[in-house]
Amino acid sequence: MAVRQALGRGLQLGRALLLRFAAKPGPAYSWGRPGPVAAWGRLERPGRAAAPGLQPRRVGWRLPDRYRFFRQSVAGLAARLQRQFMMRARGGAGPGGRAVFLAFGLGLGLIEEKQAESRRAATACQEIQAIFTQKSKLGADPLDGRRWQGFRLEEYLIGQSIGKGCSAAVYEATVAALHVNLEVAEGTRLPGRGTDLTTAGTTKVPGPGAPHFPLAIKMMWNISAGSSSEAIFRTMSQELVPASRVALAGEYGAVVHRKTKGSPKQLAPHPNIIRVFRAFTSSVPLLPGALVDYPDMLPPRLHPQGLGHGRTLFLVMKNYPCTLHQYLRENTPSPRLAMLMTLQLLEGVAHLVQQGIAHRDLKSDNVLVELDADGCPWLVITDFGCCLADERVGLRLPFPSWYVDRGGNGCLMAPEVSTAHPGPRTVIDYSKADAWAVGAIAYEIFGLANPFYGQGRARLESRSYLETQLPALPRSVPPDARQLLRSLLQREPCKRPSARVAANVLHLSLWGEHLLALKNLELDKMVGWLLQQSAVALLTNRLAERSCVETKMKMLFLANLECDALCQAALLLRAWRAAPGQLCT
C-alpha cells in the first residue's frame, strides 16, 4: 500500500507540474482518451450562478477518482502515460509537457520491471520453500509404536544421571518394549550407542548385554507447585513449550480440557530445537545419586530435610551425548565448522522469533550436541524453563515493576533487557535478545573465552560494556564471521541484524560466494543460484546414506527462504566487503 501511495503522490505532483508549466489552453485530455473532462481541475457545478457568457471556472484541483489509480497496476499507469504523451505530442504540446509525460512513463515502466522481477523471485522462493519444508520435516515420534505409550514412569528403565541444573535432574532412560530405531526416526546417529555418558561427563563402554539408553528423562524439582497434576502443569507450563502434540494430548490434555487464557504458546518442531516426546506427572522416586546431588529437593518421605512435594513433572526427550560446553571443552572446531555450529544456533533462534517465543536462557550448557556419521556436531537448543511464550504479549514484555521475570542467565542478558528500568509504559523487546546471546556463545565456539563470563577486568558486563572492548577474534576466523559476531553484539537492537538475516549471512558466506562476487545483485541471478543449490541439496540428500550436517543446513536454509531477508543479508555482506575493517550496520 505504501508503494501505491507513493506512486499516487508522484502522479499528483507530475500532473500539477504539467498543469502549471505546460498545459495548453482549451480542452483538457483525460488519461487515455481526448475530450473535455474535469481531470485537470474541478469545474463549478452547473447549478451555481455564473456570469453570463463566461465558461464555468475551475475552483480547485483534485485527483479525479483517485482510488481508481491506486487499484490499477503500475504497468497500466505507465501505458496510459505513454499514450497520453503521444496524444499531447501530436497535439502540439510544449517540450515541458512531453518531457514530464515521458519521464513518468519511463520511470513507471522501470518500476514495473523491477516489481515483476521481485514477484518472480518471491514466487520462486515460495516454490522452493514448499518443496524443502516437506523434505525437512522431523521423523516420527519414537514412542508412537502404540498409542499413549510412555505416560507412566513405571514403563521406563532409568539409568545413571546425565546432569542436573538449577531446577531439574536429567537421567538416561529406555523403554523395555521400545523397538524403534532413533537413527531412522531422527536421521542421525543414535546417541548413547557405543558410548554411555556418566554424571562426570566422561565416557565408558557398556559391557555385553548392557541396555542402551536412547531416551532421557528430565525430572523437575517441585518446591512450590503443589502435588496436583493441574497445579504442576500450570506452574511448569513453560517446560511444555517444545512438547509434541502427542505429549500434550496425554495426561496434560486430560487435565487441561481447554486452553486457559494466557497459557504458553506451543512451539512448532524444528531440527535445532529439542522435542519433548512425553510429559506426565508421577510420584518422585529415589533415583541414583539423588541423596548426594539434590537431597533438599526430595520430598520428606525420601529425605527428612527435603523440601519437595511428593509429585512432580517428568519430560521424556532424546538422549544426546553431551552439551555444547562439554563438547568445546574437548574439541576445537575449525573456522568453517564453527560457522556451521553458529549457523545452527541462529536457525533455531530465528524459528523461535518467527513463532513469537524468546528462550531467554541461552548458554552453552543449554545446547545439546550429537555427531553425524562424519563426526560433525549437530546442535539442539534445550531447557525452556525461562522462556517467554505468552500469546498476549508476544516478544514485547511489559515491565511495570522489578517483580516481572526478565529471564535467566544474567551474564548473557542482552543490553536492552539488562538495562531496562521498570515503569508504567516500559516494554522490553526480546525480538533480538537471543541473537545477542548467540553472538556471545559464538566466542566459545570459535575457541575463545566468553567475554561475558569470568571475573575481574577481563569480564564484560552486558549493562555497561562498550563495543570497542569486545576481544578480537583470531585471524583464522573468516572476515564475514568476524563482522557478523560484532554486529550481533551491538548494544542498540536497531543496529543488530535479526536472527534470520544473520543466519542468511552465514549461508551466503558458506555457499554463495559466486552470487556475492557479482557486480550487481540481480534477483533473477539470485533465483538461479537458489535453484542450483536446491538441485545440489536434493541430489546430495538422495545419494548420501546419511545426510551430513552441511546438506541438512542447506535444506533447512531452503525450507526457510524469505526473499527480503536474503536480499538484506546479501547487501549487508557486500557492504562489509566493500569497507573491510569497518562494522557496517
Catalytic residues: 361
Strand partners, 379: 369
Q: How far apart, in Å, are the Cα atoms of 237 and each of 163, 266, 450?
A: 22, 10, 31
CA atoms of 428 and 58, how far apart (whole Å): 55
CA atoms of 340 and 335, how far apart (whole Å): 9
**Contact criterion met (CB below 8 Å) for 175 and 149:** yes
CB proximity list for 76: less than 8 A, separation 6 or greater = none
Three cell numbers written together for 478: 573468516
Amino acid at 387: C
Strand partners, 323: 368
How big is the chain by its Cα radius of gyration, in Å? 31
Amino acid at 280: F
Helix then strand then coil, % of the chain, to nearest 5: 45, 10, 45
Convert 377-401 into a string of H (helix), E (strand) and C (coil): EEEEECCCCCCECECCCCCEEECCC
- Tell me the three state secondary structure of residue 458: helix
Q: How far apart, in Å, are the Cα atoms of 421 and each of 351, 387, 402?
A: 28, 20, 8
Q: At what angle do helices 479-488 and 335-354 cross, to 10 degrees?
A: 40
Is 383 buried (19+), middle (13-18) or exposed (0-12) by CB count in 10 A? buried
Residue pointed to by grid coordinates 518422585: 284
What's the length of the chain? 585
Backbone angles phi, psi at 113, to 5 degrees: -65, -45
CB proximity list for 537: less than 8 A, separation 6 or greater = 132, 551, 554, 555, 558
**End-to-end CA distance of the chain, in Å?**
27
Strand partners, 315: 218, 279
CB proximity list for 69: less than 8 A, separation 6 or greater = 8, 11, 63, 77
Backbone angles phi, psi at 325, to 5 degrees: -60, -45
What is the helix (H) or strand (E) element at residue 368, kind and residue range?
Answer: strand 367-371
Residue pointed to by grid coordinates 509434541: 244
**Contact criterion met (CB below 8 Å) for 277 and 314:** no
Three cell numbers written together for 60: 480547485
Residue pointed to by grid coordinates 541461552: 362
